[in-house]
Amino acid sequence: MKTILIKNGYLVTMDENGSKIYADILIEGKQITTIASKIEKEADKILDASGKLVLPGFVQSHIHLCQSLLRGQADDQPLMEWLDTITSLEFRHTPETLYASARIGIAEMIKSGTTSIIDMGTLHHQDSVFKAIEESGVRAQAGKAMMDLTENLPPLLQESTKDSLKNSIDLMHRWHGKADGRIRYGFAPRWQLWNTTELLQTIKQEADKNPGVGIHGHAGEIEYEVEAMIKQTGMRNLVYLEKIGCVGSNVQMAHCIWLDEDEYKVMAETGTHALHCPCCNTKLGSGIAKVPEMLSKGINVALGSDGAPSNNNLDMFIEMRLASVIHKYRLGAEAMPAEDVLRMATMGGAKAIGMGDQIGSLEEGKIADIVILDDGGLYASPMRSFEEDDVVKRLVSSYQSACVQTSIIDGQVIMEDRQLLTMNETEILEDGKKALADLWARKRADEAN
């Protein structure tokens, strides 16, 4: 069994007590087996973390890898207009352009400290996304987007309930548990306006039957959506989802901005997870989720970036900083302390992906999903010491992705000294450029016909 020893780091463990300690970490296979002040053992690989921080890797809880190519393609447009522009490109993906898109997104996330992602796919060619995930070494829940109530949209954006279910369930059988458990399937009903009740009820039954399979959607992102939901179903999003039985600890809903008290109650009582995307929500003018209130009601909140065109980065440091400051205007400077924000980015995400007992903190027995960060350099210095200046506050308010040095996922070193070991960064960038040009060429050709 391969072993890795991380020496002399300052561990921000994110365990229940929020312990921060100087210690060594021994990893055997994929597991953290020992955390102790001095481990005198031989190991296949020794990583010296002197003067550095060691953290559980971030969990990016809401991503669209299919949109990474489309960064900056619909800036300064409100959500419905933005959606038109982005979907008109997204649904012209070939397996090759989708693969290029997924790789760019995954590489950016690994380089900014993310070790797990929850991804919403696009309608077709989802195997390309899984292939990119498998090769990269990242941990992921992913699944094809489901859109079976879209008769008002162009044919490229439509699928029947039967086909949507069949294709999704086939993908689940093909990919769930693959890469030694690193890959999980997540049904991805895009949003309730575009899905039938039959589809939502069927995928909930499937997810309940298959441990580790999740359901990942959007809910309460904009006011228009809530009004349309009431028109369509007579109910607001979460009340509707509860009524049809599609809530619970295997259900993750992005945004959760326009929710009322009844919907918070549903989330808290059923363990349905909220995925907060502060940068996307402010950029698109959608609103700001009431995260401090949700946390105080016992709702699990994770943090995500959403897709590259709605952000425009897939960088957890940007999300953490924004999540810490946007609530202070309304609730005062003491709202959303750094510890709570970092917890959303780690344990919050781990719970959302259904792995709260396996990842999200540095503890003996957990899986080794670990990142090593430098001392903050020009971004976060000077500090008297990590302890005296409470480095968690620096992490949330000042650290940047460039501070992430090394990443270990599932016990494998995926990045060392900022070099990706599983992917060729130059090739990824070149392929991305070609794929974007290809998407635009096909959109223009279609529109000319």
Q: Is 236 strand, coil or helix?
A: coil
Of 47 and 251, CB closest to Zn ion: 251
Of 148 and 306, CB closest to Zn ion: 306
Considering only 301-309, 329-337, 339-347, 368-376, which stretch makes contact with Zn ion by CB under 5 A? 301-309
Tokens of 156: 């490229």
d(CA 263, CA 327): 20
Of 113 and 217, CB closest to Zn ion: 217
225 sits near Zn ion (criterion: CB under 5 A): no
Beta strands at 370-373 and 301-303: parallel, antiparallel or unpaired: unpaired
Burial of 68 (0-12, 13-18, 19+ CB in 10 A): buried
Of 79 and 200, CB closest to Zn ion: 79
- 382's CB contacts (< 8 A; 6+ apart) are none
Q: How far is the CB of 387 from Zn ion (least distance, A)?
A: 38
Tokens of 34: 């020992």
Q: How far is the CB of 19 from Zn ion (least distance, A)?
A: 34
Under 8 Å between Cβ of 5 and 41: yes
Q: How far is the CB of 120 from Zn ion (least distance, A)?
A: 6
- Pick from 108, 148, 242, 306 the residue near Zn ion by CB under 5 A: 306
Task: Indicate the DSSP class of residue 215.
Answer: E
Considering only 6-14, 153-161, 302-310, 437-445, which stretch makes contact with Zn ion by CB under 5 A? 302-310
Distances (CA, A) of 111 to 108, 127, 254, 262, 317: 5, 24, 23, 40, 11
Q: Which residue is nearest to Zn ion (CB)?
A: 306
Of 49 and 142, CB closest to Zn ion: 142
Of 276 and 343, CB closest to Zn ion: 276
Of 306 and 340, CB closest to Zn ion: 306
- Count of residues interacting with Zn ion (CB under 5 A): 1
DSSP 10-74: EEE---TT--EEEEEEEEETTEEEEEES------SEEEE-TT-EEEEPEEEEEE-GGGGGGTTTT
The one-letter amino acid at 106 = I
Q: How far is the CB of 442 from Zn ion (least distance, A)?
A: 23
What binding mask, one character per residue, do residues 156-195 give for Zn ion by CB under 5 A, x or -?
Answer: ----------------------------------------
Considering only 29-37, 259-267, 299-307, 392-400, which stretch makes contact with Zn ion by CB under 5 A? 299-307
H or E element that contains 189:
strand 183-189
Under 8 Å between Cβ of 59 and 359: yes
Q: How far is the CB of 344 from Zn ion (least distance, A)?
A: 17
d(CA 21, CA 44): 24
Q: How far is the CB of 448 from Zn ion (least distance, A)?
A: 30
Q: How far is the CB of 275 from Zn ion (least distance, A)?
A: 9
Instruction: Round the CA-based radius of gyration of the chain to a whole number and report it.
Output: 21
Of 24 and 221, CB closest to Zn ion: 221
Considering only 162-170, 300-308, 343-351, 417-425, which stretch makes contact with Zn ion by CB under 5 A? 300-308
Under 8 Å between Cβ of 70 and 375: no
Q: How far is the CB of 62 from Zn ion (least distance, A)?
A: 6
Binding site for Zn ion (CB under 5 A): 306
